[in-house]
């Protein structure tokens, strides 16, 4: 069961592009990692983020379709820290005015007309 105090992000589409990135949100802390915990297995994977000012982004993670993950921005000693994910305002992704210590997200898969995996590009962890 998903906890009420942890918001749900819009689904992330599995990417076929090698250089696709997932924009996580903004963090005021300089030295952080991004944690993905598979809620079905409890397996945690840590990612070294790229930074663009306060934005935290990672190479698109290898996630299992249909699986729910807890995404956290963590300190170097793996303690969750508050961050601001994105929100879709109808025209663009903007940084949320709210901060959270975790977001639930599900990986989805899309297929093109030829039956291959849809090739998407950068995506944003956005509150639905």
Q: Do 34 and 95 form a contact (C-beta atoms < 8 A)? A: no
> CA 109 to CA 91: how far, in whole Å?
23
In a domain, 1, yes or no: no
In a domain, 2, yes or no: no
Number of domains in the chain: 1
pLDDT higher than threshold 50 for residue 42: yes
**115 burial via Cβ count (<10 Å: 0-12, 13-18, 19+):** exposed
In a domain, 120, yes or no: yes
pTM score of the predicted model: 0.87
In a domain, 41, yes or no: yes
pLDDT higher than threshold 70 for residue 4: no
In a domain, 6, yes or no: no
**Which CATH number does the domain housing residue 38 bear?**
2.60.40
**Domain encompassing residue 79:** 12-127
In a domain, 39, yes or no: yes
For 32, phi then psi, to 5°, come to -135, 165
- For 52-98, write each residue's pLDDT tens digit: 888 999 988 888 888 999 999 999 999 999 999 999 888 888 999 99
In a domain, 100, yes or no: yes
In a domain, 86, yes or no: yes
């Amino acid at each position: 069961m998903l906890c009420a105090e942890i918001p749900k992000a819009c689904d992330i589409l599995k990417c076929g592009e090698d250089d696709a990135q997932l924009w996580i949100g903004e963090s005021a802390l300089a030295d952080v990692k991004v944690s993905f915990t598979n809620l079905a297995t409890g397996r945690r994977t840590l990612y070294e983020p790229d930074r663009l000012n306060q934005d935290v982004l990672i190479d698109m993670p290898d996630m299992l379709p249909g699986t729910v993950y807890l995404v956290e921005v963590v300190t170097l000693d793996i303690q969750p820290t508050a961050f601001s994910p994105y929100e879709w305002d109808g025209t663009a992704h903007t940084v949320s005015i709210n901060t959270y210590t975790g977001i639930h997200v599900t990986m989805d898969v899309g297929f093109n007309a030829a039956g291959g995996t849809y090739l998407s590009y950068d995506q944003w962890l956005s509150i639905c």
